[in-house]
Structure 1
Amino acid sequence: MRKLLQATAAIALMATAAGADTIKVGVVGPFSGSAALQGRNFQAGIEAWFALNGKTVGDHEIEIIYRDLPAADPAQSAALTQELVVGEGVQYLAGYYYTPDAMAAAPILEEANVPMVVFNAATSAIVNASPYVVRTSFTTWQTSTPMAAVARERGINKIITVVSDYGPGTDSETAFIKAFTDQGGEIVQSIRMPMSTTDFSPIMQRIKDSGAEAVFAFLPAGPQTLGFMQSYVENGLKESGVALLAPGDLTQESDLGALGPNAEGMLTTFHYAVSHDSPENKAFVEAATGWLGNANELSFPAVGAFDGMHVIAHMIEATGGEQDAAAAVESVKGLEWVSPRGPVSINPENRHITQNIYLREVAKEGESWINKEIQTFENQGDPGWVAP
């Protein structure tokens, strides 16, 4: 692998010397399978960026090369990443929907001299896996922590936590428990579910039996979240007054039509809602939905990809198109801009995105269901990040 990477670097240097004007960006994501809509949102964000900003930076044209990773598979992620670097000669890597996939790819970056811009994967530790990782998505610590204050403000004292048993799920659980107990709340029980869980009825019975006033839940956005939400209603928990609190993964906009009245009034904390009211977001939504062809398919991975392209374009400009991962990453430390989600910046210490987190309530607007923003937690960093 070392010899292959050295050969690739030599080819890249020769191409630069010859005046090559194409910058290849390799994007790994779920473009088929049960999470294919999340991959389509990666594409929608990228295409929205091109629609609003063009495909060129200076004299360089950006070319996107996609690789499909239908489900979390670290070994396959590493193989696809190596293929993009060695076989395709990409100068930037991006995407990575699941944390295990991003972690598996990170060790390749330094020797390959390629930065990675994470469009979605949400475990805090990813930025510690390589100095060449930059995040434009969020972390579950970042989106989960404010919900503790929301619960306490509403007089909720006893909560049960239910999360998927993998990196972001355990991060979300830890973040919420710390913040909630620090503010005087009590955790009556904590449940971790295998990621393969599809029958949630036994979980709902445990919630009923716990005596909790509310449940804090985290599952990765996709088919499982829809099943969990439906089970919560069908098992009578909503009707009995057990509040369901969560980061926004559980009410992504592409699921709201199916959830309908079942989710009405549910509170979530998240970094982005399609309904966010700003000129930047209106332009983004129009461009992204124009590519998707269906406004109901637009969801949060698209904004991570859109802002990821902003970061990559800045890197290309800052390096003059040269392949220099260290200089590219250095150029975006402290970078600030106005995203469709609001004001954002890249923390120079950990290369993680600082952004507003919004409290949202599921509500009906006209004939559509939306995540209506009702409170803002400004300039939130990642409380889960620990220096290596």
Structure 2
Amino acid sequence: MRFQMKLVGTIAAAFAMGSVAAETIKVGIIAPFSGPFAHYGALFKAGAEGYVANQGGKLAGKDIEFIYRDEGGPNPANTRTLAQELVIKDKVDYMGGVVFSPNAFAVAPVIQASKTPFVVFNAATSDITTKSDYYVRTSYTLWQVTVPMAQHAAKKGIKKVITAVTDYAPGVDAENAFKAEFAKQGGEVVESIRMPIRTTDFAPFAQRIKASGAQAVYVFLPGGPPNLGFVKAYNENGLKAAGIEFLGTAETDEFDLQKFGDSALGLTTAFHYSAAHDSPANKVFADAVAKVNKDAVLNYATVGAWDGMAVIHKMIEATGGQRDGDKAMAAIKGYQWESPRGPVSIDPTTRHITQNVYLRTVEKGAGGLMVNKEVQNFGPQVDHGLRK
């Protein structure tokens, strides 16, 4: 409590002076730029800078200065310190980014005290936006993409499912979402497995899944090596051959997709974005990102940053470049636009993005490359976790 009071006092003092319109808007982006999750930082950077470049280099007539800070990995204390430095030392007008939910929770007191709007580009635990009035999210939540998957499984006639999730906040959200919705649909979750976040050998879990009697496994894993390791175990331990269906969300992420090879074919996920999404807006997005980083992968991280800057663009327009967190946040409640993922809007109550969720299956596309082909549109989905 003493720390909280000192933090609020320090930040409030830093912003006691009035605000005038600035010609350059400072945007602080917190992301992993080193370590095993560094690709997120590179993709956030490509999406954010690609958006600004596509607008002619300015937003609402204002120059944009990006200030990047490295969260590294799940490290709440360090991320809170980075946010404090961006607010007090760098005097940023807006912030964005954050991959890990525990880090997002740690930043909340900083942005609440300074009234600094923060756009979450990735962190996917539902109640993040409840922790500060200045949070808005352009990524997704596990409840948002899992509820339609549970409904789909039930409609397919699947009666028994086992869940296997990584044991941290988003994984628990995913497990709870599937169990709650699948039960509503008359299905049974026969067992719930929580896998330690540092798991590298998934074979023991695959054996438990195989022995469970389930017709399908619902999976949540953080991006990167865990996805590859789990899918390898799913195939090598005979789950696919036994007809146990794979039901996931971001496990076939485009960043890793080509690394899977044929082992990914037929994997089914429910998600809000595919690089294969066929729309003019997605083509503009692809071209703009390629111009700033030809190696950048189009995936949920890149599009989260792109749309995050669309939200910041709207806030700059509304405030005329002045530092006014309350006016900025009021402007984006109910805001609608055409995203590379399809039509989206910001829920005025939860400040979370409402968006289509698509059923996807991995297929071979042009040149033999793997793609997440959208085979069904579940329609606009809210964050069911905050509406439950």
* TM-score bracket relative to the smaller structure: over 0.9
Name the counterpart of 1:228. 230
Instruction: Tell me, in whole angstroms, the C-alpha distance in 1 between the residues paired with 2:151 and 2:168.
Output: 24
CA contact (8 A) 2:11 2:110 kept: no
Q: CA deviation at 1:210?
A: 0.7
* CA offsets 1:9-68 (integer angstroms, 9 cap, x no match): 146x3xx54x63111111001111111112111111112202211332334211110001
CA contact (8 A) 1:289 1:298 kept: no
The worse-fitting range, judged by mean Cα deviation, of 113-122 and 150-159 is 150-159
| Change beyond 3 A, Cα 1:227–1:290 | farther
Q: Structure 1: any 5+ residue segments left out of the alignment?
A: none
Instruction: Tell me, in whole angstroms, the C-alpha distance in 1 between the residues paired with 2:212 and 2:353.
Output: 37
Name the counterpart of 1:151. 153
Name the counterpart of 1:274. 275
Q: Structure 1 residue 358 and structure 2 residue 344: aligned? A: no
Name the counterpart of 1:341. 341
Matched AA of 1:63: E
CA contact (8 A) 1:25 1:93 kept: yes
Name the counterpart of 1:182. 184
TM alignment of 1:1-388, pairs within 5 A: 1-10=7-16, 13=18, 16-17=19-20, 20-247=22-249, 249-294=250-295, 297-366=297-366, 367-386=368-387
Instruction: Tell me, in whole angstroms, the C-alpha distance in 1 between the residues paired with 2:329 and 2:123.
Output: 18
Q: CA deviation at 1:306?
A: 0.4
CA contact (8 A) 2:22 2:321 kept: no
Matched AA of 2:215: E
Q: State the identity as a percent.
A: 49
CA RMSD of aligned residues (A): 1.4
Instruction: Tell me, in whole angstroms, the C-alpha distance in 2 between the residues paired with 1:338 and 1:245.
Output: 28
TM-score, normalization: structure 1? 0.95
Instruction: Tell me, in whole angstroms, the C-alpha distance in 2 between the residues paired with 1:154 and 1:67.
Output: 45
* CA offsets 1:79-110 (integer angstroms, 9 cap, x no match): 11001111111111110111111110011112
CA contact (8 A) 2:22 2:322 kept: no
Q: CA deviation at 1:144?
A: 0.7
Matched AA of 2:121: F
Instruction: Tell me, in whole angstroms, the C-alpha distance in 1 between the residues paired with 2:8 and 2:356.
Output: 41
Please state whether the residue corresponding to 1:385 is helix, strand or coil: helix
Q: CA deviation at 1:7?
A: 4.0
How many equivalent residue pairs? 381
* CA offsets 1:215-259 (integer angstroms, 9 cap, x no match): 000011122112111121122211221111011x10001211111
Matched AA of 1:100: P
CA contact (8 A) 1:31 1:69 kept: yes
Instruction: Tell me, in whole angstroms, the C-alpha distance in 2 between the residues paired with 1:58 and 1:131.
Output: 24
CA contact (8 A) 2:101 2:123 kept: yes
* CA offsets 1:175-196 (integer angstroms, 9 cap, x no match): 1111111111111100111111
* CA offsets 1:341-365 (integer angstroms, 9 cap, x no match): 0000001111111000000010001
Please state whether the residue corresponding to 1:250 is helix, strand or coil: coil
Instruction: Tell me, in whole angstroms, the C-alpha distance in 1 between the residues paired with 2:341 and 2:193.
Output: 32
Q: CA deviation at 1:290?
A: 3.5
Name the counterpart of 2:4. none
Instruction: Tell me, in whole angstroms, the C-alpha distance in 2 between the residues paired with 1:121 and 1:31.
Output: 16
Instruction: Tell me, in whole angstroms, the C-alpha distance in 1 between the residues paired with 2:347 and 2:141.
Output: 13
* CA offsets 1:269-324 (integer angstroms, 9 cap, x no match): 000000000000011012223333236x3321110100000000110110111111
Matched AA of 1:317: E
The worse-fitting range, judged by mean Cα deviation, of 150-159 and 196-205 is 150-159
Instruction: Tell me, in whole angstroms, the C-alpha distance in 2 between the residues paired with 1:319 and 1:372.
Output: 40
Q: CA deviation at 1:155?
A: 1.9
CA contact (8 A) 2:52 2:59 kept: no
Name the counterpart of 2:3. none
CA contact (8 A) 1:157 1:185 kept: yes
CA contact (8 A) 2:121 2:137 kept: yes
Matched AA of 2:335: L
Instruction: Tell me, in whole angstroms, the C-alpha distance in 2 between the residues paired with 1:257 and 1:237.
Output: 21
Matched AA of 1:288: V
Instruction: Tell me, in whole angstroms, the C-alpha distance in 2 between the residues paired with 1:262 and 1:119.
Output: 29
Matched AA of 2:257: L
Instruction: Tell me, in whole angstroms, the C-alpha distance in 2 between the residues paired with 1:293 and 1:110.
Output: 37
Instruction: Tell me, in whole angstroms, the C-alpha distance in 2 between the residues paired with 1:384 and 1:340.
Output: 24
Matched AA of 1:8: A
Please state whether the residue corresponding to 1:251 is helix, strand or coil: coil
CA contact (8 A) 2:203 2:237 kept: yes
Please state whether the residue corresponding to 2:314 is helix, strand or coil: helix
Instruction: Tell me, in whole angstroms, the C-alpha distance in 1 between the residues paired with 2:320 and 2:16.
Output: 18
Instruction: Tell me, in whole angstroms, the C-alpha distance in 2 between the residues paired with 1:287 and 1:226.
Output: 29
Please state whether the residue corresponding to 1:257 is helix, strand or coil: helix
Matched AA of 1:99: S
